[in-house]
Protein backbone atom coordinates (compact mmCIF):
# COMPACT_ATOMS: atom_id res chain seq x y z
CA UNK A 1 0.00 0.00 0.00
CA UNK A 2 1.28 3.47 -0.84
CA UNK A 3 2.57 5.37 2.15
CA UNK A 4 0.55 8.48 1.37
CA UNK A 5 -2.73 6.62 1.42
CA UNK A 6 -1.81 4.48 4.39
CA UNK A 7 -0.79 7.33 6.66
CA UNK A 8 -2.51 10.53 5.49
CA UNK A 9 -6.16 11.14 6.34
CA UNK A 10 -8.78 13.45 4.92
CA UNK A 11 -9.59 16.53 7.03
CA UNK A 12 -13.00 15.05 7.91
CA UNK A 13 -11.54 11.78 9.24
CA UNK A 14 -10.58 13.32 12.61
CA UNK A 15 -14.00 14.97 13.05
CA UNK A 16 -15.59 11.71 14.18
CA UNK A 17 -15.25 10.61 17.79
CA UNK A 18 -13.86 7.24 16.70
CA UNK A 19 -12.07 6.24 18.79
CA UNK A 20 -10.10 4.26 16.17
CA UNK A 21 -9.47 5.96 12.85
CA UNK A 22 -10.05 3.76 9.82
CA UNK A 23 -8.47 3.48 6.36
CA UNK A 24 -5.58 5.84 7.09
CA UNK A 25 -2.53 6.18 9.33
CA UNK A 26 -2.36 2.39 8.92
CA UNK A 27 -5.49 2.07 11.08
CA UNK A 28 -3.20 2.38 14.09
CA UNK A 29 -4.25 5.64 15.70
CA UNK A 30 -7.09 7.39 17.50
CA UNK A 31 -9.04 10.23 15.97
CA UNK A 32 -7.84 13.65 17.06
CA UNK A 33 -11.31 14.47 18.41
CA UNK A 34 -11.19 11.45 20.71
CA UNK A 35 -7.66 12.31 21.86
CA UNK A 36 -8.58 15.91 22.63
CA UNK A 37 -11.57 14.79 24.70
CA UNK A 38 -9.93 11.95 26.61
CA UNK A 39 -6.26 12.93 26.66
CA UNK A 40 -6.58 16.69 27.19
CA UNK A 41 -9.95 17.70 28.58
CA UNK A 42 -10.31 14.83 31.08
CA UNK A 43 -6.98 15.18 32.98
CA UNK A 44 -7.15 18.98 32.90
CA UNK A 45 -10.70 18.90 34.31
CA UNK A 46 -9.61 16.54 37.09
CA UNK A 47 -6.83 18.98 38.04
CA UNK A 48 -9.33 21.85 38.13
CA UNK A 49 -11.51 19.81 40.51
CA UNK A 50 -8.74 18.63 42.83
CA UNK A 51 -6.65 21.83 42.99
CA UNK A 52 -9.09 23.90 45.15
CA UNK A 53 -9.17 21.15 47.78
CA UNK A 54 -5.38 21.03 47.91
CA UNK A 55 -5.15 24.83 48.06
CA UNK A 56 -7.55 24.85 51.01
CA UNK A 57 -5.43 22.23 52.75
CA UNK A 58 -2.17 24.09 52.13
CA UNK A 59 -3.65 27.38 53.31
CA UNK A 60 -3.53 26.14 56.91
CA UNK A 61 0.18 25.26 56.78
CA UNK A 62 3.09 27.60 57.60
CA UNK A 63 5.82 28.51 55.14
CA UNK A 64 8.44 25.74 55.20
CA UNK A 65 10.56 26.13 52.04
CA UNK A 66 12.51 28.98 50.44
CA UNK A 67 14.35 28.28 47.16
CA UNK A 68 13.30 31.40 45.24
CA UNK A 69 15.36 30.54 42.14
CA UNK A 70 13.77 27.11 41.72
CA UNK A 71 10.31 28.56 42.31
CA UNK A 72 10.97 31.32 39.78
CA UNK A 73 12.06 28.75 37.17
CA UNK A 74 8.88 26.75 37.76
CA UNK A 75 6.58 29.76 37.48
CA UNK A 76 8.40 31.04 34.39
CA UNK A 77 8.09 27.68 32.61
CA UNK A 78 4.42 27.34 33.57
CA UNK A 79 3.77 30.93 32.44
CA UNK A 80 5.27 30.24 29.01
CA UNK A 81 3.17 27.06 28.82
CA UNK A 82 0.03 29.11 29.51
CA UNK A 83 1.00 31.50 26.70
CA UNK A 84 1.43 28.57 24.32
CA UNK A 85 -2.00 27.23 25.31
CA UNK A 86 -3.47 30.67 24.64
CA UNK A 87 -1.75 30.66 21.26
CA UNK A 88 -3.31 27.29 20.46
CA UNK A 89 -6.75 28.72 21.23
CA UNK A 90 -6.16 31.47 18.66
CA UNK A 91 -4.76 29.06 16.05
CA UNK A 92 -7.68 26.66 16.42
CA UNK A 93 -10.13 29.59 16.24
CA UNK A 94 -8.79 30.65 12.81
CA UNK A 95 -8.43 27.07 11.58
CA UNK A 96 -9.88 26.66 8.09
CA UNK A 97 -11.94 23.53 8.81
CA UNK A 98 -15.13 24.28 10.73
CA UNK A 99 -16.15 20.93 12.13
CA UNK A 100 -16.32 19.00 15.36
CA UNK A 101 -12.53 18.78 15.59
CA UNK A 102 -12.16 22.57 15.59
CA UNK A 103 -14.82 23.01 18.28
CA UNK A 104 -13.44 20.27 20.51
CA UNK A 105 -9.87 21.49 20.06
CA UNK A 106 -10.82 25.04 21.06
CA UNK A 107 -12.52 23.65 24.17
CA UNK A 108 -9.50 21.46 24.96
CA UNK A 109 -7.11 24.39 24.58
CA UNK A 110 -9.31 26.56 26.83
CA UNK A 111 -9.41 23.90 29.54
CA UNK A 112 -5.66 23.39 29.20
CA UNK A 113 -5.10 27.14 29.53
CA UNK A 114 -7.21 27.24 32.70
CA UNK A 115 -5.38 24.18 34.03
CA UNK A 116 -2.03 25.89 33.36
CA UNK A 117 -3.07 28.92 35.41
CA UNK A 118 -4.29 26.73 38.28
CA UNK A 119 -1.15 24.60 37.96
CA UNK A 120 1.00 27.70 38.34
CA UNK A 121 -0.85 28.95 41.41
CA UNK A 122 -0.78 25.54 43.06
CA UNK A 123 2.90 25.09 42.21
CA UNK A 124 3.73 28.42 43.89
CA UNK A 125 1.90 27.47 47.10
CA UNK A 126 3.15 23.86 47.08
CA UNK A 127 6.74 25.00 46.75
CA UNK A 128 6.46 27.25 49.80
CA UNK A 129 4.40 25.11 52.15
CA UNK A 130 5.02 21.45 51.29
CA UNK A 131 8.17 19.62 52.37
CA UNK A 132 8.05 17.29 49.38
CA UNK A 133 7.42 17.78 45.64
CA UNK A 134 3.71 17.90 44.95
CA UNK A 135 2.22 14.48 44.20
CA UNK A 136 -0.80 16.05 42.49
CA UNK A 137 1.24 18.27 40.19
CA UNK A 138 3.84 15.62 39.37
CA UNK A 139 1.16 13.05 38.59
CA UNK A 140 -0.81 15.45 36.40
CA UNK A 141 2.13 16.80 34.42
CA UNK A 142 3.59 13.33 33.83
CA UNK A 143 0.26 11.86 32.69
CA UNK A 144 -0.37 14.94 30.55
CA UNK A 145 3.08 14.62 28.97
CA UNK A 146 2.57 10.95 28.08
CA UNK A 147 -0.89 11.61 26.61
CA UNK A 148 0.37 14.66 24.73
CA UNK A 149 2.95 12.40 23.10
CA UNK A 150 0.12 10.45 21.47
CA UNK A 151 -1.61 13.68 20.40
CA UNK A 152 1.65 15.07 19.02
CA UNK A 153 2.11 11.99 16.83
CA UNK A 154 -1.43 12.34 15.49
CA UNK A 155 -1.04 16.06 14.81
CA UNK A 156 2.10 15.56 12.74
CA UNK A 157 0.42 12.78 10.73
CA UNK A 158 -2.71 14.84 10.05
CA UNK A 159 -3.54 17.70 7.66
CA UNK A 160 -3.26 20.41 10.31
CA UNK A 161 -1.37 23.65 9.80
CA UNK A 162 2.34 23.81 10.51
CA UNK A 163 1.72 26.53 13.12
CA UNK A 164 -0.48 24.26 15.26
CA UNK A 165 2.03 21.43 14.99
CA UNK A 166 4.94 23.70 15.93
CA UNK A 167 3.20 25.30 18.92
CA UNK A 168 2.00 21.94 20.23
CA UNK A 169 5.55 20.56 19.87
CA UNK A 170 6.90 23.51 21.85
CA UNK A 171 4.23 22.89 24.49
CA UNK A 172 5.29 19.24 24.70
CA UNK A 173 8.95 20.19 25.12
CA UNK A 174 8.07 22.72 27.81
CA UNK A 175 6.04 20.14 29.73
CA UNK A 176 9.10 17.91 29.70
CA UNK A 177 11.07 20.70 31.38
CA UNK A 178 8.27 21.24 33.92
CA UNK A 179 8.29 17.53 34.78
CA UNK A 180 11.99 17.84 35.65
CA UNK A 181 11.51 21.07 37.61
CA UNK A 182 8.55 19.82 39.64
CA UNK A 183 10.38 16.61 40.53
CA UNK A 184 13.25 18.48 42.20
CA UNK A 185 13.61 17.85 45.93
CA UNK A 186 13.46 20.75 48.38
CA UNK A 187 15.53 19.44 51.28
CA UNK A 188 18.27 22.07 50.86
CA UNK A 189 15.67 24.86 50.83
CA UNK A 190 13.91 24.00 54.10
CA UNK A 191 13.33 27.04 56.29
CA UNK A 192 12.74 25.36 59.66
CA UNK A 193 11.96 21.83 60.81
CA UNK A 194 11.37 22.68 64.49
CA UNK A 195 14.88 21.54 65.35
CA UNK A 196 14.25 17.92 64.35
CA UNK A 197 15.82 15.89 61.59
CA UNK A 198 13.47 14.89 58.80
CA UNK A 199 13.10 11.44 57.33
CA UNK A 200 13.87 11.14 53.60
CA UNK A 201 10.37 9.72 53.25
CA UNK A 202 8.91 13.05 54.40
CA UNK A 203 10.78 15.02 51.74
CA UNK A 204 10.72 12.54 48.83
CA UNK A 205 8.54 13.06 45.80
CA UNK A 206 6.27 10.63 44.03
CA UNK A 207 9.06 9.21 41.85
CA UNK A 208 11.41 8.55 44.76
CA UNK A 209 8.63 6.96 46.80
CA UNK A 210 7.31 4.92 43.89
CA UNK A 211 10.76 3.47 43.18
CA UNK A 212 11.79 3.46 46.87
CA UNK A 213 14.82 5.50 45.84
CA UNK A 214 14.77 7.28 49.20
CA UNK A 215 15.92 4.00 50.78
CA UNK A 216 19.10 3.90 48.68
CA UNK A 217 21.36 5.60 51.30
CA UNK A 218 20.24 3.12 53.95
CA UNK A 219 20.78 0.15 51.63
CA UNK A 220 24.23 1.42 50.66
CA UNK A 221 25.15 1.81 54.32
CA UNK A 222 23.98 -1.74 54.99
CA UNK A 223 26.00 -2.95 52.01
CA UNK A 224 29.21 -1.44 53.39
CA UNK A 225 28.78 -2.48 57.04
CA UNK A 226 26.36 -3.83 59.61
CA UNK A 227 23.50 -1.46 60.34
CA UNK A 228 23.22 0.15 63.76
CA UNK A 229 20.09 1.65 65.34
CA UNK A 230 21.47 5.16 64.74
CA UNK A 231 21.77 4.39 61.01
CA UNK A 232 18.00 4.15 60.66
CA UNK A 233 16.07 7.16 59.41
CA UNK A 234 14.08 9.41 61.70
CA UNK A 235 10.46 8.36 62.01
CA UNK A 236 7.90 10.36 60.09
CA UNK A 237 6.23 12.77 62.51
CA UNK A 238 2.75 11.69 61.41
CA UNK A 239 3.59 8.15 62.54
CA UNK A 240 4.78 9.09 66.03
CA UNK A 241 2.99 7.41 68.93
CA UNK A 242 2.40 10.75 70.67
CA UNK A 243 0.39 12.19 67.77
CA UNK A 244 -1.53 8.98 67.11
CA UNK A 245 -2.25 8.30 70.79
CA UNK A 246 -3.78 11.75 71.27
CA UNK A 247 -6.12 11.24 68.32
CA UNK A 248 -6.97 7.71 69.43
CA UNK A 249 -8.02 8.66 72.96
CA UNK A 250 -10.09 11.52 71.60
CA UNK A 251 -12.10 9.13 69.41
CA UNK A 252 -12.15 6.48 72.15
CA UNK A 253 -13.73 8.90 74.62
CA UNK A 254 -16.21 10.13 72.00
CA UNK A 255 -17.42 6.58 71.34
CA UNK A 256 -17.53 5.52 74.99
CA UNK A 257 -20.96 4.89 76.60
CA UNK A 258 -20.43 7.79 79.01
CA UNK A 259 -20.11 10.28 76.15
CA UNK A 260 -23.56 9.24 74.89
CA UNK A 261 -25.24 9.80 78.25
CA UNK A 262 -25.30 6.12 79.17
CA UNK A 263 -24.97 5.50 82.90
CA UNK A 264 -23.54 2.15 83.77
CA UNK A 265 -21.73 0.96 86.86
CA UNK A 266 -19.37 -1.05 84.70
CA UNK A 267 -16.64 0.92 82.91
CA UNK A 268 -16.39 -1.74 80.20
CA UNK A 269 -16.55 -0.33 76.66
CA UNK A 270 -19.32 -1.29 74.28
CA UNK A 271 -18.84 -3.81 71.49
CA UNK A 272 -16.47 -2.81 68.67
CA UNK A 273 -15.48 0.42 70.44
CA UNK A 274 -11.81 -0.36 69.82
CA UNK A 275 -12.46 -1.08 66.14
CA UNK A 276 -14.35 2.17 65.57
CA UNK A 277 -11.80 4.20 67.51
CA UNK A 278 -8.97 2.79 65.36
CA UNK A 279 -10.90 3.38 62.14
CA UNK A 280 -11.65 7.00 63.07
CA UNK A 281 -8.04 7.58 64.09
CA UNK A 282 -6.61 6.21 60.84
CA UNK A 283 -9.50 6.89 58.46
CA UNK A 284 -7.47 8.97 55.99
CA UNK A 285 -4.58 6.49 55.99
CA UNK A 286 -7.02 3.65 55.29
CA UNK A 287 -8.83 5.58 52.55
CA UNK A 288 -5.55 6.60 50.89
CA UNK A 289 -4.94 2.95 50.03
CA UNK A 290 -8.22 2.56 48.13
CA UNK A 291 -7.41 4.52 44.90
CA UNK A 292 -4.03 2.82 44.56
CA UNK A 293 -5.59 -0.61 45.12
CA UNK A 294 -8.20 0.15 42.45
CA UNK A 295 -5.42 1.06 40.00
CA UNK A 296 -3.63 -2.19 40.82
CA UNK A 297 -6.90 -4.03 40.30
CA UNK A 298 -7.34 -2.39 36.89
CA UNK A 299 -3.84 -3.31 35.71
CA UNK A 300 -4.29 -6.87 36.99
CA UNK A 301 -7.54 -7.28 35.05
CA UNK A 302 -5.82 -5.93 31.93
CA UNK A 303 -3.38 -8.86 31.88
CA UNK A 304 -5.81 -11.49 30.49
CA UNK A 305 -7.33 -8.92 28.11
CA UNK A 306 -3.94 -8.09 26.58
CA UNK A 307 -3.04 -11.78 26.45
CA UNK A 308 -6.29 -12.60 24.64
CA UNK A 309 -5.66 -9.83 22.12
CA UNK A 310 -2.10 -11.10 21.65
CA UNK A 311 -3.36 -14.63 20.87
CA UNK A 312 -5.79 -13.20 18.32
CA UNK A 313 -2.92 -11.30 16.73
CA UNK A 314 -0.80 -14.46 16.42
CA UNK A 315 -3.67 -16.42 14.85
CA UNK A 316 -4.39 -13.79 12.18
CA UNK A 317 -1.57 -13.50 9.59
CA UNK A 318 -3.24 -10.47 8.01
CA UNK A 319 -2.74 -8.35 11.14
CA UNK A 320 -0.63 -5.24 10.62
CA UNK A 321 2.81 -5.32 12.22
CA UNK A 322 2.07 -2.00 13.93
CA UNK A 323 -0.58 -3.77 16.00
CA UNK A 324 2.15 -6.09 17.25
CA UNK A 325 4.25 -3.12 18.31
CA UNK A 326 1.19 -1.74 20.05
CA UNK A 327 0.74 -5.01 21.95
CA UNK A 328 4.37 -4.88 23.04
CA UNK A 329 3.77 -1.39 24.37
CA UNK A 330 0.56 -2.55 26.05
CA UNK A 331 2.39 -5.37 27.82
CA UNK A 332 5.07 -2.95 28.99
CA UNK A 333 2.46 -0.46 30.20
CA UNK A 334 0.46 -3.11 32.09
CA UNK A 335 3.41 -4.66 33.89
CA UNK A 336 5.01 -1.30 34.59
CA UNK A 337 1.68 -0.17 36.04
CA UNK A 338 1.44 -3.31 38.17
CA UNK A 339 4.93 -2.82 39.59
CA UNK A 340 4.46 0.88 40.36
CA UNK A 341 0.96 0.57 41.82
CA UNK A 342 2.05 -2.45 43.86
CA UNK A 343 4.88 -0.45 45.40
CA UNK A 344 2.56 2.45 46.26
CA UNK A 345 -0.15 0.11 47.53
CA UNK A 346 2.01 -1.92 49.90
CA UNK A 347 3.88 1.19 51.01
CA UNK A 348 0.66 2.91 52.03
CA UNK A 349 -0.79 -0.32 53.45
CA UNK A 350 2.20 -1.02 55.68
CA UNK A 351 2.35 2.61 56.78
CA UNK A 352 -1.23 2.33 58.01
CA UNK A 353 -0.46 -1.02 59.68
CA UNK A 354 2.58 0.44 61.43
CA UNK A 355 0.49 3.35 62.65
CA UNK A 356 -2.19 0.93 63.87
CA UNK A 357 0.45 -1.03 65.78
CA UNK A 358 1.68 2.20 67.35
CA UNK A 359 -1.85 3.15 68.39
CA UNK A 360 -2.58 -0.22 69.99
CA UNK A 361 0.74 -0.63 71.80
CA UNK A 362 0.62 2.94 73.12
CA UNK A 363 -2.97 2.42 74.30
CA UNK A 364 -2.11 -0.81 76.13
CA UNK A 365 0.95 0.79 77.72
CA UNK A 366 -1.07 3.84 78.79
CA UNK A 367 -3.76 1.71 80.42
CA UNK A 368 -1.17 -0.53 82.09
CA UNK A 369 0.46 2.45 83.81
CA UNK A 370 -2.93 3.46 85.23
CA UNK A 371 -3.54 0.09 86.92
CA UNK A 372 -2.74 -0.47 90.56
CA UNK A 373 0.25 -2.70 91.22
CA UNK A 374 -1.76 -5.19 93.24
CA UNK A 375 -4.38 -5.66 90.53
CA UNK A 376 -2.16 -5.49 87.45
CA UNK A 377 -1.16 -8.52 85.45
CA UNK A 378 2.09 -7.85 83.63
CA UNK A 379 1.82 -11.01 81.58
CA UNK A 380 -1.58 -9.99 80.21
CA UNK A 381 -0.27 -6.57 79.20
CA UNK A 382 2.80 -8.01 77.51
CA UNK A 383 0.64 -10.54 75.68
CA UNK A 384 -1.62 -7.74 74.47
CA UNK A 385 1.40 -5.78 73.23
CA UNK A 386 2.84 -8.71 71.30
CA UNK A 387 0.64 -11.67 70.41
CA UNK A 388 -2.74 -9.94 70.36
CA UNK A 389 -1.48 -6.91 68.47
CA UNK A 390 0.23 -9.16 65.91
CA UNK A 391 -3.04 -11.03 65.40
CA UNK A 392 -4.89 -7.76 64.81
CA UNK A 393 -2.22 -6.55 62.37
CA UNK A 394 -2.40 -9.81 60.40
CA UNK A 395 -6.16 -9.44 60.09
CA UNK A 396 -6.05 -5.77 59.10
CA UNK A 397 -3.37 -6.47 56.52
CA UNK A 398 -5.97 -8.25 54.39
CA UNK A 399 -8.74 -5.69 54.82
CA UNK A 400 -8.14 -4.09 51.41
CA UNK A 401 -7.49 -7.44 49.75
CA UNK A 402 -10.95 -8.57 50.87
CA UNK A 403 -13.04 -6.01 48.98
CA UNK A 404 -10.58 -5.80 46.06
CA UNK A 405 -10.64 -9.56 45.49
CA UNK A 406 -14.45 -9.55 45.48
CA UNK A 407 -14.44 -6.96 42.69
CA UNK A 408 -11.66 -8.77 40.85
CA UNK A 409 -13.50 -12.08 41.12
CA UNK A 410 -16.71 -10.54 39.75
CA UNK A 411 -14.90 -8.90 36.81
CA UNK A 412 -12.87 -12.02 36.04
CA UNK A 413 -16.00 -14.17 36.07
CA UNK A 414 -17.79 -11.75 33.74
CA UNK A 415 -14.83 -11.73 31.31
CA UNK A 416 -14.61 -15.52 31.46
CA UNK A 417 -18.34 -15.90 30.86
CA UNK A 418 -18.05 -13.89 27.64
CA UNK A 419 -15.63 -16.52 26.30
CA UNK A 420 -16.85 -19.85 27.69
CA UNK A 421 -20.45 -19.10 28.66
CA UNK A 422 -22.06 -21.06 31.50
CA UNK A 423 -18.84 -22.96 32.17
CA UNK A 424 -17.66 -19.83 34.00
CA UNK A 425 -19.88 -20.94 36.88
CA UNK A 426 -17.19 -23.49 37.83
CA UNK A 427 -14.92 -21.00 39.63
CA UNK A 428 -17.97 -19.55 41.39
CA UNK A 429 -18.94 -22.97 42.75
CA UNK A 430 -15.39 -23.63 43.96
CA UNK A 431 -15.20 -20.20 45.63
CA UNK A 432 -18.57 -20.60 47.35
CA UNK A 433 -17.56 -24.06 48.58
CA UNK A 434 -14.29 -22.70 49.99
CA UNK A 435 -16.19 -19.86 51.67
CA UNK A 436 -18.64 -22.28 53.31
CA UNK A 437 -15.80 -24.49 54.56
CA UNK A 438 -14.07 -21.42 56.00
CA UNK A 439 -17.19 -20.40 57.90
CA UNK A 440 -17.62 -23.93 59.24
CA UNK A 441 -14.06 -24.18 60.55
CA UNK A 442 -13.76 -20.58 61.78
CA UNK A 443 -15.34 -21.21 65.23
CA UNK A 444 -12.95 -24.09 65.93
CA UNK A 445 -10.01 -21.97 64.83
CA UNK A 446 -11.07 -19.20 67.18
CA UNK A 447 -11.30 -21.63 70.11
CA UNK A 448 -7.79 -22.98 69.56
CA UNK A 449 -6.40 -19.51 68.97
CA UNK A 450 -7.77 -18.33 72.32
CA UNK A 451 -6.25 -21.38 74.02
CA UNK A 452 -2.90 -20.67 72.36
CA UNK A 453 -2.92 -17.02 73.50
CA UNK A 454 -3.74 -18.11 77.07
CA UNK A 455 -0.76 -20.47 77.06
CA UNK A 456 1.47 -17.70 75.72
CA UNK A 457 0.24 -15.41 78.47
CA UNK A 458 0.93 -18.09 81.09
CA UNK A 459 4.43 -18.66 79.71
CA UNK A 460 5.21 -14.94 79.74
CA UNK A 461 3.87 -14.69 83.29
CA UNK A 462 6.33 -17.35 84.44
CA UNK A 463 9.39 -15.39 83.28
CA UNK A 464 9.35 -12.71 86.04
CA UNK A 465 8.90 -15.32 88.78
CA UNK A 466 11.84 -17.34 87.43
CA UNK A 467 14.07 -14.26 87.23
CA UNK A 468 13.11 -13.17 90.72
**pLDDT of amino acid 431:** 83
Compute the distance between CA of residue 234 and CA of residue 217 in angstroms, rounded to an integer. 13
* Residue ranges covered by each domain of the chain: 3-192
3-state helix, strand, coil in the chain (%, to 5): 80, 0, 20
**pLDDT of amino acid 425:** 82
Question: Do 171 and 85 meet the contact criterion of CB atoms below 8 Å apart?
Answer: yes
Question: Do 400 and 290 meet the contact criterion of CB atoms below 8 Å apart?
Answer: yes
Coil, helix or strand at residue 52:
helix
Helices (H), 316-424: 321-370, 378-383, 389-397, 399-420
pLDDT value at 49 more than 90: yes
Confidence class for position 312, pLDDT limits 50, 70, 90: confident
Question: Measured at the alpha carbon of residue 174, what is the angle toward residues 83 and 76, in degrees to the nearest 5?
Answer: 60
The mean-pLDDT minimum among 162-166, 171-175, 383-387 falls in 383-387
The mean-pLDDT minimum among 216-220, 457-461, 462-466 falls in 462-466
Distances (CA, A) of 300 to 170, 339, 341: 36, 10, 10
* Burial class for 20, CB neighbours closer than 10 Å (0-12, 13-18, 19+): exposed
Q: pLDDT tens, 94-140?
A: 877 767 788 888 999 999 999 999 999 999 999 888 888 989 999 99
pLDDT value at 29 more than 60: yes
Amino acid sequence: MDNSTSTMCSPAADDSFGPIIQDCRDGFDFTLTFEQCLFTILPASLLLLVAPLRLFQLGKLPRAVSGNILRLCKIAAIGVLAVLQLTLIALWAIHRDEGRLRTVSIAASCVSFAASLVFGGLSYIEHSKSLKPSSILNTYILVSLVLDGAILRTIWLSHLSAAISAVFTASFALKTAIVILEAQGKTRYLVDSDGRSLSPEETSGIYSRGLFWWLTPLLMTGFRRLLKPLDLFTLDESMSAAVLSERFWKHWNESSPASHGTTNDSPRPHSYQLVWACIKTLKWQLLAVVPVRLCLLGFTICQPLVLNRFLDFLQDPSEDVNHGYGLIGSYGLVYLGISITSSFYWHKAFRSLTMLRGVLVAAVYSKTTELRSASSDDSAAVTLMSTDVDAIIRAWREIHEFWANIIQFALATWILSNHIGYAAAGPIIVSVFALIVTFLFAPATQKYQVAWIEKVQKRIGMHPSILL
